[in-house]
Amino acid sequence: METSLPDSPTKTGSLWKGKAKDVTSAQDEFGDLNPIITYRHLLSQNLGVRDPLRVVALCDSDAFYAACEMVRLGVDKDTPLVVLQWDSIIAVNYPARKYGISRMDKKMDALKRCPHLKIVHVATYREGETEPGYWDEVDTNTHKVSLDYYRRESLKIAAMFREMLPGCEVEKASIDEAFIDFTKPVREIILQRYPHLAQPPPDAPFGVETALPPPPPIVWDGKGAVIPVNSPPSEDSSITDGQISSSSDEPGRAEPLDKDVVSTWHDVALSIGAELMTNARDAVHTTLGYSTSAGIARNKFLAKLTASYRKPNGQSILRNASIPNYLRPMPFQKIRFLGGKLGRAFAEEYDAATVGDLLSITLDEMQTKFGESSIWVYEILRGLDRSEVKDKGSTLNKSMLASKNLPKPITNVQEGYRWIRVLAAELALRLNDARNMSPNLWPKTLVLHARKGYESSRSKQAPFPYTREVTVDIIAAAGDKLWKELVGTSTQMNVTNVQLSFTGIDFAEAGQKTIEGFFKPTSKRQRDSAELTDFNTQAEVGQPESSAGDAKEDSATDIIVSHTCTRCKKTLSLNLELSRFKDSEEQKTAIAALIMEHDDWHFAQDLVREEIPIRPIQPSASTSHKKTPKTKKRRKDPVGIERFFDRK
Ligand code: DCP
Ligand code: CA
């Protein structure tokens, strides 16, 4: 979309003026770093990822889990603190990092380095408890880690960004990171501050296609560290997690400015993005107590690389002009997705270590050796990333998973029930958290996975009926049922990982607001879709069809419910003497109990006749996970770049 005009005014202010050779190579290698920005670019509403005024930030919380614990405990900001998960340190606050403590250390080693270190073990679910807690004694054999508190704090931070940054797109990228697209509000602010740009002057030679006049000087002070154009990152920089970070203790310190590099309108846009980012980060700090670090650049990939240039509590800006010297010395294997097999293959193939080493490889050559999709690598090495910042805040999280690796494997059926209860507690808490925002969320399916050693897992699933209150008991009862099915007649097993998950989470519609919705569909079609196949049954109703669709949460007092089992065709009726049931919840529980009881009866019958239609987990490794030919799908061998990624 960018327009190149031969005699554009900004052309004379080229970043690469006087360095003809550099102009060619940098522009070739890194795309158009100084595109001509016209009135049309500024006045267009929606230029998307090709917008030459695009401003994206990545904001990452500093020492996040440790910061959450500091907020919870109200400890002083200078107290060294680490968060422990069993024996391993998973988060280290910055005061503790001064003692040389890192995430890889063991608790005892960390204490040797800093005897007054505050050590907090992450919250855990303890068997029999419905809420996670911080206990004096934790044991991986009986407890399960809970990250719920960190998730909640993370949601608060994202909500504050959304509130503070109207018009920005905010995409939560991980538990402590968010991408923010500032392009839209930045464009509005440019137009407010420089109203003469609202339309091209009457003598503009190309109308809206005329380039904007030269930008005003930019005051970068207080906006963050501007990554230098001409010098590579300073000596004390180190690269962690694919990002260059500096050991500077001066958060927000600006680099000396590159005097000979002319500012562009994109720089103006970056500086405005930086102002907005600073305000939002300050709000998070003062209101919620979390310090963050941000990187601001032309796209997501570069914003992420920039975010850890100054940490903690820092903000860094990568001007387009600084991209070449910032990227060239970077070890490419530190870039996300280039750390594994693929990165090693590139390193070997081209005897290369840095991004600069790979820039001479043509796209053709790369694609011949690594497949068509390696265009992705080709572009990333050049700092090009066209991925959008997408606010998924309003999109529903379709699933929730509670998982436990079992250092002490489950060896008998009873132990399975215990773990299912622990996992059910986590799911109940997470679903109810989500229901605080959207009260009618309905996880339509409950899935139980069990894995033995390194074998692929086996699973069972069943529809999960809508209930207004989803308690640990309800989930555990449904989970127990799946466990029963999964283990079948086995008395011995060796399960090393167990997972319980909700999938197909959706908003329940009016007619499905309670389980009653299952029992009083209005039509055949609705009846067919009102599966309750958890119990291999189909619901039927003795209610006049006309009023059946109007189910309200508490208005089920006059419903007559019956239920036909698809296995034996027996009709189970809940004899509704109205006075027996206080409310619809009780009715619901009663019918569910009736069905479960009936299903249990079938289960017992099957056991006696050994007719259980599922395969038990066998203790023997050689036979247990063989799939029947029917279910076995032949996996296509990976081709091209896919060869370098492990299938999970
Ligand atoms: N985390 C974890 N195990 C890892 C990496 C991270 O449990 N191997 C958790 C703990 C971290 C949180 O995720 O607090 C965020 O991870 P970061 O990599 O962003 O690390 P921090 O936020 O702790 O530190 P930094 O200030 O370097 O971002
Ligand atoms: Ca972080």
**pLDDT for residue 200:** 96
**pLDDT for residue 1:** 35
Q: Provide mean pLDDT across the span 267-293.
A: 98
**pLDDT for residue 12:** 33
Which ligand has the minimum distance to the alpha carbon of residue 242? Answer: 1
Ligand 1 pocket check for 534: Cβ under 6 Å: no
**pLDDT for residue 194:** 97
Taking all residues of the chain, what is their mean pLDDT, rounded to a whole number?
Answer: 78
For residue 505, which phi and psi values (nearest 5 degrees)? Answer: -70, 130
Look up residue 43 and give its amino acid: L
The residues, ordered by sequence, that sit 6+ positions from 203 with a Cβ below 8 Å of its Cβ are none
**CA-proximal residue: ligand 1, atom 2 (nearest):** 90
The number of the ligand 1 atom at minimal distance from the alpha carbon of 92 is 23
Ligand 1 pocket check for 61: Cβ under 6 Å: yes
The number of the ligand 1 atom at minimal distance from the alpha carbon of 174 is 15
Ligand 1 pocket check for 91: Cβ under 6 Å: yes
Query: Could you tell me where the DSSP H helices lie in 284-412?
Result: 300-307, 323-327, 341-350, 355-358, 363-370, 375-381
Q: Give the bridge partners for 145, in sequence order.
A: 124
Look up residue 75 and give its amino acid: V
Give residue 242 CA to ligand 1 midpoint distance, Å. 14
Distance from C-alpha of 462 to C-alpha of 448, rounded to nearest angstrom: 9
Domain with CATH 3.30.1490.100 in the chain: 400-507
**pLDDT for residue 432:** 93
Distance from C-alpha of 89 to C-alpha of 82, rounded to nearest angstrom: 7
pLDDT of 251 > 50? The answer is: no
Q: What is the CATH number of domain 400-507?
A: 3.30.1490.100
**pLDDT for residue 491:** 83
pLDDT of 547 > 90? The answer is: no
* DSSP characters over 632-648: PPPPPPP-GGGGGS---
HSE-CB for 143 with a 13 A CA cutoff: 21
Of the candidates 534, 496, 501, the residue with the CA atom closest to the CA atom of residue 625? 496
pLDDT of 637 > 90? The answer is: no
**CA-proximal residue: ligand 1, atom 4 (nearest):** 90
**pLDDT for residue 511:** 44
**pLDDT for residue 8:** 34
CB contact at 8 A, 330 and 239: yes
- Range with lowest mean pLDDT among 99-103, 384-388, 541-545, 610-614: 541-545
pTM of the model: 0.73
Domain with CATH 3.40.1170.60 in the chain: 64-150
pLDDT of 644 > 80? The answer is: no
CA distances from 488 to 481, 482, 610, 614 (A): 11, 10, 9, 7
Question: pLDDT: is 546 or 188 the higher one?
Answer: 188
pLDDT of 252 > 80? The answer is: no
Ligand 1 pocket check for 60: Cβ under 6 Å: yes
Q: Which fold has domain 64-150?
A: MutS, DNA mismatch repair protein, domain I (3.40.1170)
- Three-state DSSP class for residue 339: coil
pLDDT band at 79 (very low <50, low <70, confident <90, very high): very high
**CA-proximal residue: ligand 1, atom 8 (nearest):** 90
**pLDDT for residue 606:** 53
Q: Provide mean pLDDT across the span 158-185.
A: 96
**pLDDT for residue 440:** 85
pLDDT digits (tens, 9 = 90+) for 423-465: 999 999 999 999 988 888 999 999 999 998 767 779 999 999 9
Distance from C-alpha of 192 to C-alpha of 215, rounded to nearest angstrom: 14
pLDDT of 293 > 60? The answer is: yes
pLDDT digits (tens, 9 = 90+) for 201-248: 999 999 999 999 999 999 999 999 999 988 655 444 433 333 333 433
Give residue 96 CA to ligand 1 midpoint distance, Å. 14
Which ligand has the minimum distance to the alpha carbon of residue 94? Answer: 1
pLDDT of 530 > 80? The answer is: no
Ligand 1 pocket check for 125: Cβ under 6 Å: no
Question: pLDDT: is 136 or 521 the higher one?
Answer: 136
Q: Provide mean pLDDT across the span 162-191.
A: 96
pLDDT digits (tens, 9 = 90+) for 28-57: 578 789 999 999 999 998 888 989 999 999
pLDDT band at 572 (very low <50, low <70, confident <90, very high): low
